[in-house]
A and B are shown apart, each in its own frame.
Chain A
């Protein structure tokens, strides 16, 4: 199975900060990488698919980049509603796998 490793596991930031989360894959997954936002107790939300494509309705403050084994999620100006847990997920090969998550909380 493909292993995804996110960094950092958690971070503290302020409203307006620029935040970057990385996701490393254990093998080449081309651009088959998605990012989700999850507020505890709520429904996970697809933010970015195919490494860099913004899901409809997601603010343009979110962006994704990368390919092969190294990927990043960037939030250019953190808003209060962005404090959540972020997960990467690969859809290059079954079984699909998620990264361990990155918790973004308020400094």
Chain B
């Protein structure tokens, strides 16, 4: 059974940093790209970033490029999202999602975690 579980969310002040983790199991982790998607309060889904199975390829939305960094540790079946220079408009529930197909680019997202909330406020 595929499982995806995010952690690391919390309350931070503007300008601070936070690292989210996403532990996955039930599939060949190193073969699949992983993605981060967020949903701000009262808003829709926003795709943020993806990383290939090997970690060699990454992609970011313009809204987070230069501030957020995605990485993965295939020995731990875990993907990370390092978030720097956080702003109030980064407040959201952050979801980790597995890519449906092996390889790159990521394609459809077939398994999602429950999400971890991040609040940026002074």
Contact = CB atoms under 8 A, between A and B. Distances in A.
A96 B106 contact: yes
A95 B108 contact: no
B107 A94 contact: no
A85 B45 CA distance: 10
A46 B61 contact: no
A98 B44 contact: yes
Interface string A29-52: 000001010100011111001100
A98 B45 contact: yes
Contacts of B107: 49, 91
B44 A101 contact: yes
Interface residues of chain A: helix, strand, loop or mixed (majority) = loop
A54 B37 CA distance: 22
B27 interface: no
A26 B95 CA distance: 26
Interface string B86-122: 0000000001010010000111111011110000000
Interface in A52-107: 55, 85, 87, 89, 91, 94-101
A100 B61 CA distance: 16
- Please tell me the size bucket of the interface on B: 20 to 34
B108 A46 contact: yes
Interface string A1-37: 1000000000000000000000000000000001010
B1 interface: no
Contact of A49 (B60, B108, B115): B108
B61 A95 contact: yes
Contacts of A89: 45, 47, 108-109
A48 B60 CA distance: 24
Contacts of B50: 94, 96
Which residue, B45, B61, B62, B100, has most C-beta atoms of chain A within 10 A? B45
A95 B47 contact: yes
17 contacts: A36-B109, A38-B45, A43-B114, A44-B37, A49-B107, A49-B108, A49-B110, A50-B108, A89-B47, A91-B107, A91-B108, A95-B47, A95-B59, A98-B46, A99-B44, A100-B44, A101-B45
